[in-house]
Amino acid sequence: MDSLLKGELEKLECHFTWDLGQYQNELQGMKRKMDHVDPQKISSPVHYYNLLGFIQKSLGSDREALESLQKAESVIQEQGTEETAVRLLVNKANLAWVYFYLGELEKSRGYLEELEELQRIHPAPPGCPLHPEVSGEKGWTLVKFNKSKKSQAIGYFKMALEAEPERKEWHKGLAISMSKACLWYKCTPEQKAEILEKVKTAAEIDPNDLFLQSLYVLKKFEVQGENVDEEIQSLLKKSISTANLVGLNYIIEYFKGISYGRAIEEVQRVREIFPSSSTLLKILANLYKWKVFSMKEDSRERRIWVQKSIELFEEVVRHYPDCVKGRSDLASLHRYAHNTERAEEIYQQLLSEDHTLPPHSQQLLYYSYACYVHHTGQSRDKSINFLMKAAEIKNYSYNKDKCIEILQTTVQNGRNSRCEEIKRFLKNVLKEE
């Protein structure tokens, strides 16, 4: 391979230089979701094909990756204007990388030269380190990944908006990344108000976007405690009548705040209209799970709910075999059904795959297994080991917080023989944050 050419490629801004991670489980899960999307029906097929190409290459499907990137290139070229040609900046860089990996170095150099010419014709605006098409696409790519990447996306959408303050695509990206990057329970009232303001701006710029409208109404309820029942009902009707379920998660989140029963009732009603929707399946399975977790007594009623939950999660896992959360939830529900043999089997399978998981999925798995080990009366040391294993991973997440919280409580209680060891461990972990 040409080291000089590789050095030039490494200076480019594209999916192959954005440090997106090479976690097989995460990439397989993303690809599976993307395979169920019709690119003709989405607003940004160029983003779709560029990301798909990167994922395919990362999973070893070089020729498929090339085809996807060429489709992105064709979509832009079909639009045929100088204004849209600037959208080739990231795409040409991606193509240069894929041809380099394929060993077709002349074609790689050819795309590099085309990119240099495009950058000359369309330089970044004064004061902007990147062209807004590049910073915007980088933002939309990062927001598809974990919370740390979503946090990075915020900066890139802000950068894009500095150059193009009216661009609704960048406003939407900023609203979504700010909403998803934070751990809501740790946000200050000022941070929540800022998120609400950004979501409001994006929703007002694009009043026909059901996703944004649903997110905005939910945030109004969460931040300001507004009575939004009529708005929620209107959005639900519109989602059903247009068969556009993109904002349904937020709509059901509102109903969940009223009661699990009300949320389940609404989802079941919508599911009768869209019985094949995997989105509705996941929402319903999660609601059943939380209903089970909210029932403290091991009653006959809870056992019925547990069995229904298991059936739903078995179906979820068939649809999303790469979903660590779905599989660990299924294992947890088997524990509630006193089927510890099946629960242990699922956990051991997941643990055997932990090297393929991104940090946030590892934390989720280790925390879930630590709880399982504790509740089934196994070794307390084993549970502590998995809590520590999750807590020491350098990644900001809810599951890391929960592990640290349990370890701190263990130290405060002072009854465990490992208290001093845990105390030293926590001092090091908290110092690194």
Q: Is the dihedral of CA 76, 77, 83, 86 positive or negative?
A: positive
Annotated domain spans of the chain: 208-275
Q: Which residues contact 121 (CB under 8 A, 6 or more apart)?
A: 82, 85
Which parts of the chain register pLDDT below 50? none
pLDDT score, position 1: 61
CA distance 49 to 166: 25
pLDDT score, position 58: 96
Residue of 13, 7, 48 whose CA lies nearest to 31: 48
pLDDT score, position 394: 93
pLDDT one-digit tens code per residue, 277-306: 999 999 999 999 999 999 988 899 999 999
Q: Is the dihedral of CA 121, 125, 131, 133 positive or negative?
A: negative
Q: Which residues contact 359 (CB under 8 A, 6 or more apart)?
A: 146, 393, 394, 395, 397
pLDDT score, position 82: 66
